[in-house]
Chains A and B, each alone.
Chain A
Amino acid sequence: MIKAQNISFAHRKFRILDQVDLSVGNHELLVIVGPNGAGKSTLLSLLANETESNEETIFFKDKRFSEWSSKALAVHKAKFSQQNNADIPLPAKDIVLMGRYPYFNSSPGREDLQVVADMMKATEVAHLAERNYNALSGGEKQRVHLARVLAQLQNDIEHKLAFFDEPLNNLDIKHQFNILNTIRQFTRKGNSAIIVLHDLNLAAQFADNVLLLKNGKVVAHGRPQVVFTEAVIRETYNFPCTICPNPITKNPMIIFGIQRNSNT
């Protein structure tokens, strides 16, 4: 699906990313985690072709981004960005409809409107369809944009890729799980998703693979059981923690603030 070799990125001589290798396959849900300033968002925006890197070493479906047309890219990949607080005086449904812009010329078809309605249902904002976007709460705005990004990738193309930069900000627990479930369903259909998350327990529960970044370098990359080990997490976050298997799912469960005295 997407392959990146040896990507580095610097902003005014300050290294943000340092030789990161990464590849995501079909059906895969990759979660990028790491402390503040690790370069997570930068990595995501490089992978999503937002920021141009000096060397073109990112291959999306075996082609460089420069070999794609912008129209084709818009139906193969989509990105949910972090700062979506702009002033947009439109009803919420018109914002979700923007996700269908790559599919129609001057007026949306019946299918486009159906997709908009479906996605608004999936992110639980259907009841806000006619409300003015500017009057929505932070969490509601967030879900409207998630619906827009999901609507953009509703098509018959196989193996699509979605990027999410901290999609769970401002969301309550129910919506957090709902959104992650929706994304997981999306990947079950042969698609891939790359998500930047802060909550390690959610990452452990939903990710197929986890990429742990610190200071622009990959600390660990692999299945949650491999990445989430006490020593690695304690070292990376510079904070005491304990990891035990989740009693129900058996995925790793990270408890911060408590340290086991196993060594003594």
Chain B
Amino acid sequence: MRNKLTIYLLSGGLALLLLALISLYSGVYRFSDASVWKILMQGLSNPAAIAPGDHYVLFSLRLPRMVMAMLIGSALAVSGTCLQGMFKNPLATPSLVGITSGASLFAALAIVLGAGLKAFLPEMLQYSLISIMAFLGAILTMTLVYRISNTNGKTNIVIMLLAGVAISALAGAVTGFLTYLTREEQLRDLAFWTLGSLGGASWVKNGILTVVVTVSFVLLINKGKALNAMMLGEKDAAHLGIPVEKLKKQIVILAALMVGTCVAFAGAIGFIGLIVPYILRLIFKSDYRIILPLSAILGSILLLCADTVSRTIVPPAEIPIGILTAFMGAPVFIAILVRFKKSM
């Protein structure tokens, strides 16, 4: 079981690496030297030796964007898997439960209200502020939805989804209003918030994301056993020595942190937290010991794929990445609903 997981993780990592190379190659801009690898190596050792165009495209556009796609894909997939474990349902994902909307709302608030501060704060601090606000929005909505839908350790799925709809509607309205009022460029682009985009990738954002993702993964990735036990019900999990309340708090805080940061930097990219665990469940049943670590890799692969396609399918334009994830996610959503209906 241990060895199998290692093999899956390794082959997933390899696939991701291959995909990363392909992603660096693809795009409207053609490098003067055909080998990206060469430019990459040279750029690190002797930046002056390569064409400035090549250097800019690779190091300031494609590379940060690729890294951001991997980090966000991974973060969204892992938070989706953890939420499903906590709510004990495959429909509990950041976007359906309304957490993404809550985070968007608070991020938008931070951008609008923080506009005046922009001149005085260093870039790092600005982005940290936005992601902290998005985190607060995420944690607030998550707590609210959990409180509304949970009675005696059991989640009422219908209530959970409807609470998500209600919160999304409210957050959407307020975000829309803010967008309408403000002159802030980032908010101006409504598509950015509603459909998500990795176009704003930068090394500063990647730095913050890396810290958030690393901390969360260290604490969450080994919770597979605990999430499996949670399927028995919270009381039975407690009899197995699982600290249920502590686990739930950890998941709420860390998932909110990850989703919040992702939303702050890339808008509301939906469905990754739904698709990734769904695919893994098809192959590995519901064993969180396997699907939790694997969702970190598959999330990266999926979002990197989607992003590469989104910027190459209609050159020289770029379609919002959320359109692609929704194309994949909506059928999965329907498939889960159909199965859910059967089990009722």
Contacts and interface: CB of A to CB of B under 8 A. Distances in A.
Contact of B229 (A78, A79, A101): A101
A35 interface: no
A70 B286 contact: no
A37 B130 CA distance: 55
Contact of A98 (B2, B229, B343): B229
A148 B299 CA distance: 33
A88 B238 CA distance: 17
A107 B289 CA distance: 9
B228 A86 contact: no
B341 interface: no
B219 interface: no
A78 B235 CA distance: 11
Contact of B286 (A73, A89, A101, A107): A89
Given A87-B343, A89-B281, A81 B235 contact: yes
B233 interface: yes
Contact of A88 (B232, B240, B241): B232
Contacts of B225: 101, 106
A94 B241 contact: no
Nearest to B240: A101
Contact of B287 (A70, A90, A108): A90
B184 interface: no
B156 to A, nearest CB: 14
Interface string A70-99: 110111011101011011111100110011
Contacts of A71: 241
B231 A78 contact: no
A182 to B, nearest CB: 19
Interface string B256-300: 000000000000000000000000010001110100000000000
A94 B287 contact: yes
B212 to A, nearest CB: 24
Nearest to B286: A89
Contact of A102 (B233, B240, B243, B289): B240
B222 interface: yes
A106 B231 contact: no
A152 interface: yes
Contact of A86 (B233, B238, B243, B285): B233
A177 to B, nearest CB: 25
Given A86-B232, A89-B285, A90-B285, A99 B240 contact: yes
A152 B2 CA distance: 21
Nearest to A134: B343
Given A89-B285, A107-B2, A50 B241 contact: no
Nearest to B225: A101
A209 B238 CA distance: 28
Contacts of B229: 98, 101
A247 B111 CA distance: 85
B49 interface: no
Contact of A74 (B5, B235, B240): B240
Interface in B312-344: 343
Given A89-B286, A90-B285, A102 B241 contact: yes
Given A79-B236, A101-B229, A106 B241 contact: no
A77 B240 CA distance: 9
Residue among B88, B243, B285 having the largest count of chain A Cβ atoms under 10 Å: B285
Given A102-B240, A107-B1, A152-B239, 20 more contacts: A45-B235, A50-B235, A50-B238, A50-B239, A73-B241, A74-B240, A75-B241, A79-B236, A81-B236, A86-B88, A88-B231, A90-B231, A91-B285, A98-B229, A98-B232, A101-B241, A106-B222, A106-B289, A107-B5, A132-B285
Interface of B: 1-2, 5, 88, 222, 225, 228-229, 231-233, 235-236, 238-243, 281, 285-287, 289, 343
5 contacts: A48-B239, A81-B235, A98-B229, A99-B240, A108-B1
